[in-house]
Copies of this chain bind each other. A is one copy, B any other.
Amino acid sequence: MAIRLDATDSNFNAAFADLLAMKREVSDDVDAIVRDIIDEVRARGDDALYDYTAKFDRFDARSKGLRISEAEIEAAVAKVDPEVMKALELAAERIRSHHARQLPKDDFYEDALGVKLGSRWNAIEAVGLYVPGGLAAYPSSVLMNAVPAKVAGVERLVMVVPTPDDVLNPLVLAAAKLAGVDEIYRIGGAQAVAALAYGTQSIAPVYKIVGPGNAFVAAAKRRVFGLVGIDMIAGPSEVLILADKNNDPDWLAVDLMAQAEHDKVAQAILITDDAATADAVEEAVKRLLTTLPKAEIAGASWADYGAVITVPDWETGMALANRIAPEHLELAMDNAPDYLDKVRNAGAVFVGHYTPEAVGDYVGGSNHVLPTARSARFSSGLSTLDFVKRTSVLECNVENLRQIGPAAVTLARQEGLEAHARSVAKRLNME
């Protein structure tokens, strides 16, 4: 059973603070192992990749090569059911059109003094995409990472995916093909991250690495951060639902369990201004858990991290929501759009009774890679912006330099940087 809190209780603040402080992530100390793996890949390149793949994924990649060939991809894709392929295509197309709107525009202008300033955006030339193998191999995640990269104009998009026991995942390959991934390698773990960052004989290095992974992958990304760019390191997923009394408790229950079925450390929270709704949803969850295939996982998440909070009014409810800063926020109220302006901290908002979070996971068009563990207070979901970078441009003529240069000379000398000062002064015949 989830924890039940009432915002009007005298001990609520302490209990809510405990809920916020709950640490759901197990931080395995894998850093030493990961350091060794990275060192091995740097020193031995492909040979290290063959060895780790034999050890962790139980097959010999030497004979067929690290790269998954076009023929292998075609053969796998041919196995995908046409209805599933159509669903993937709809998802890819909707993601593409939404993310195209996020492309930033160059901005060049002359300011009041005639100084020319500008911002020019360019795609990152080469990006690596980590895709987990086994259970967490989600074709939807391939689309969510790869499509925005291609929309941004990344020329070389390189995917790595472990293929345990040498088994390819047709849907993952189909999604990669749809999204326009350029190269796919059958490697995973910290060794794959190292290969992307440093390069090997078969794999040219990339400049940024995105995509989810286990503790080893996360630790490896943290280590290569700086040499290459990385995306946020994702934690366990969470949903917060704000619901008024005009809801079918079964709908809310299944939305909560859709989050909980991801992971025993996922978190699902309901905030409602109606105690009867709170009771009814708790009952509905119980019923639902008797029929769900992943009831064991979802039930553990709900018992350990789930919460049902009653609030006296929506001002209180919105304030709590912004403190939680959830990855996913469902506004299941009749007048849900009215509350959008009050949302300060959330990865994504799903508005109204007919927008379950799961529709956003697949076919809404917006990205499902979102800030977890309260990081929506300071970061954003994945977007086209993650695959571009900005160069600023400054151009003065002698007139401009005469107007603003002397202030630069003054400040440079205050900072003890005489060559800085002279580089301006010399052009103005100042001393």
Contact = CB atoms under 8 A, between A and B. Distances in A.
B361 A418 contact: no
A362 B258 contact: no
A379 interface: yes
B391 A348 contact: yes
B366 A392 contact: yes
Nearest to A412: B358
Interface stretch (A57-65, A68-76, A292-300): A292-300
A370 B355 CA distance: 41
A46 interface: no
A22 interface: no
What copy number does this chain have within its complex? 2
Interface residues of A, number: 126
Interface string A100-118: 0110100101010001110
Interface in A368-407: 370-371, 373, 375-381, 383, 385, 389-398, 400-401, 404-407
Contact of A417 (B251, B261, B400, B422): B261
A228 interface: yes
A83 to B, nearest CB: 6
Interface of A: 83-84, 86-88, 90-91, 94, 97-98, 101-102, 104, 107, 109, 111, 115-117, 119-120, 122, 124-125, 135, 138-140, 171, 207-208, 222, 225-226, 228-229, 232-233, 235, 250-251, 254-255, 257-258, 260-262, 288, 292-294, 298, 336-337, 340, 343-367, 370-371, 373, 375-381, 383, 385, 389-398, 400-401, 404-408, 410-412, 414-424, 426-427
